[in-house]
Amino acid sequence: MAYTRQTIAPEEIARQEEICARIAARLCADGARPLAMVDTYGCQQNEADSEKLRGYLAEMGCGFTSDEFAADIIVVNTCAVREHAEMRVLGNVGALNHTKKAKPSQIIALCGCMVQQEHMAEKIKKSYPIVDLVFGPHELWRFPELLETVMTRHKRVFAADKNDGAVAEGIPLRRDGAVKAWLSIMYGCNNFCTYCVVPYVRGRERSRLPEDVAAEAKELVAAGYKDITLLGQNVNSYGKDLEGGVDFADLIRMINDIPGDFLIRFMTSHPRDATEKLFRTMAECEKCAKHIHLPVQSGSDRILKLMNRHYDRAKYLAEIETARNLMPDLVITTDIIVGFPGETEEDFEETLSLCEEVRYDAMFTFIYSPRVGTPAAKMDDPFTRADKQKRFDRLTELSNRISGEKHAAYEGKRMRVLVDGETGKAEYNLSARTNGGRLVHLRGDPALIGQFIEVTITASNTWALYGKIV
Ligand code: 5AD
Ligand code: SF4
């Protein structure tokens, strides 16, 4: 094969599955049914990784529980993107002292982005002796082997060395839902935005082969999934590491050609390489949802440069214009960081004005969180947390107002939505999504879950739409 990226040989995955069988024999001796719990933090990529962890655990004979006292194996899949996520993980892992005391045979594993950072792995080693196993995102494919070492050698195992990463096909998956599915198309990130820890913990960009992605998409459609989200840290650079010239737009088209009634979504696009070809493909492919999540991070050219984003405000706005010309009803969402080091009041005003100009359907806003080892963490930052909080509150207010106005414009409209679950509330017992991904609450028969239906939007607020089945 002419591909350059590192792959894990299929025999290696087969060996991991043999280990799963050995672990099952050990755990299920005398008819016991071991229980596992997988606790996931962070982004959709982590959700997708947890489906692999559950796939392996199911092959080890485990059932699943959300009760940490009942679990024989606990895996915490961590996030490192902001300090807040790390604090939550450490707090919850600390609380597992009680469960392990009550059940000394319990095995506690930590994996994912947080523990791929050297200083965090060290901290776990020193201060969290209840943790038996630590492994980074690159070692996920050999989780069974690592777990078996813990079980047979009765020692703590740490596997989170520096690594560019590889691609492993054929890991068993246990998916969470029956309507929506994650489909990883690539791993890692090469962008090195100055605030972001991801490139350090998830390694270099590497794409799955188009035929592997298409085969998995076909399986999903055959299994009845109606909403498939293609995942990557930056899907727009899909294929750049492969020979054969298939880019992300081509991949969408390949999946669009699979017969069946389903939606294709994707996350996340970097504005640096969102091309007109991509927007044209989205417009032309009837199964591609008319939604793009295009994180702008800041509206100030000065800050965008300091962030190493490789686009400016004008380029970003031109992309939005191109996309909207091709897809007038396109839903656009974004991520914004408030309080990047040295962000002045003027810089922040530029962000506000950009948001007014674009009028996002929804915005995900974050206060800048310094990350160990990133360039931004060493930059001068004269503004206080209180200054940043004030800006954050102003941005939230703006975001809520615009979302509310956008949602109000849906009232009275008739639209096709995909019913995706139950809400647990009596009045509006079902949840659904519009083609653009907006949340709709409905009242109806739970048997509709998994179906596309027509609704009329009757009411709305900042966060959701309310509809009546036609
Ligand atoms: N501080 C705050 N927000 C961050 N993000 C990434 N790194 C940081 C950080 N250090 C945000 C970005 C990104 C989203 C997933 O998280 O907005 O798009
Ligand atoms: Fe968290 Fe980012 Fe890692 Fe996802 S990729 S788990 S958001 S650090």
**DSSP bridge pairs for 334:** 363
Residue nearest to atom 4 of ligand 2 (CA): 43
pLDDT, mean of residues 388-406: 98
Among 333, 336, 271, 270, smallest CA distance to 297 is for: 336
User: How far is the centre of ligand 2, averaged over its atoms, from the C-alpha of 42 (Å)?
Assistant: 5
Ligand found nearest the CA of 231:
2
- Of the listed ligands, the closest to the CA of 335 is 1
- Quick one: residue 297, left, alpha or beta (phi over 0 = left, psi -120 to 50 = alpha)? left
pLDDT, residue 4, reads 59
The pLDDT of residue 259 is: 98
Query: Residue 54 in contact with residue 172, Cβ under 8 Å?
Result: no
Cβ burial of 58 (10 Å; 0-12, 13-18, 19+) is middle
Residues in contact with ligand 1 by the CB-under-6-Å rule are: 81-82, 195-196, 295, 297, 335, 337, 366, 368-369, 371
Give the pLDDT band of residue 1 (cuts 50, 70, 90): very low
How far apart, in whole angstroms, are the C-alpha atoms of residue 296 and residue 301? 11
Q: Which atom of ligand 1 is nearest the CA belonging to 197?
A: 7
Give CA angle at 334 (345, 390), nearest 5°. Answer: 30
81 lines ligand 2 (CB under 6 A): yes
Please state the rounded mean pLDDT for residues 7-19: 96
Per-residue burial over 193-229, b = 16 or more CB atoms within 10 Å of its CB, e = otherwise: bbbbbbbbbbbbbbbbbbeebbebbeebbeeebbbbb
Which DSSP letter does residue 179 get? Answer: S
pLDDT tens column, 415-460: 999 999 999 998 999 999 999 999 999 999 999 999 999 999 999 9
Contact 69, 99 (CB under 8 A): yes
Beta bridge partners of 422: 430
Q: What percent of the chain has pLDDT over 70?
A: 99
User: What's the pLDDT at 5?
Assistant: 73
Question: pTM of the predicted model, to two decimals?
Answer: 0.96
State yes or no: pLDDT of 360 exceeds 80: yes
- The predicted model gives 458-469 an average pLDDT of 97
Binding site membership of 111 for ligand 2 (Cβ less than 6 Å): no
Given this model, what pLDDT does residue 100 score? 96
- Indicate where the chain has its CATH 2.40.50.140 domain(s): 414-469
pLDDT at 222: 97
**Running DSSP on this structure, what letter comes out for residue 273?**
G
> Residue 92: enclosing H or E segment and its boundaries?
helix 83-102
pLDDT tens readout for residues 213-261: 999 999 999 999 999 999 999 999 999 999 989 999 999 999 999 999 9
Q: What average pLDDT does the segment 93-108 reach?
A: 96
Closest by CA to 93, choosing from 136, 50, 132, 45, is 132
Ligand 1, atom 2, lies closest to the CA of 368
DSSP H or E run through 143: helix 143-153
**Per residue in 36-73, pLDDT tens?**
999 999 999 999 999 999 999 999 999 999 999 999 99
- For ligand 2, whether the C-beta of 45 sits within 6 Å is yes
Position 335: which residue type? D
| CATH 3.40.50.12160 domain extents, the chain | 10-159
Q: Is 209 in the pocket of ligand 2 (CB under 6 A)?
A: no
Q: How far is the CA of 198 from the centre of ligand 2 (A)?
A: 6
Tens of pLDDT, residue by residue over 166-217, are 999 999 999 989 999 999 999 999 999 999 999 999 999 999 999 999 999 9
Query: Stretch 137-161: mean pLDDT, rounded?
Result: 96
Report how far ligand 1's centroid is from the alpha carbon of 371 (Å): 10
Query: What's residue 162's pLDDT?
Result: 87
| CA 366 to ligand 1 center in whole angstroms | 7
Is the pLDDT at 2 greater than 60? The verdict is: no
- At residue 317, the pLDDT reads 98
Report CA(77)–ligand 2 centroid distance (Å): 10
Determine the CATH number of domain 10-159. 3.40.50.12160
Architecture of domain 180-408 in this structure: Alpha-Beta Horseshoe (3.80)
Nearest CA to 374 out of 228, 200, 142, 170 is that of 200
- Mean of the per-residue pLDDT values for the chain? 96
Task: Give the CATH fold of the 414-469 domain.
Answer: OB fold (Dihydrolipoamide Acetyltransferase, E2P) (2.40.50)
> What is the secondary structure of 341-373 as a DSSP string?
TT--HHHHHHHHHHHHHH--SEEEEEE----TT
- Give the model confidence (pLDDT) of 103-138 as tens digits: 999 999 999 999 999 999 999 999 999 999 999 999
Ligand 1 centroid, distance to 67 Cα (angstroms): 31
Contact 186, 168 (CB under 8 A): no
Q: Quick check: 329 pLDDT over 60?
A: yes
Position of tokens 């806003």? Answer: 365
CA torsion sign, 140 to 142 to 148 to 149? negative
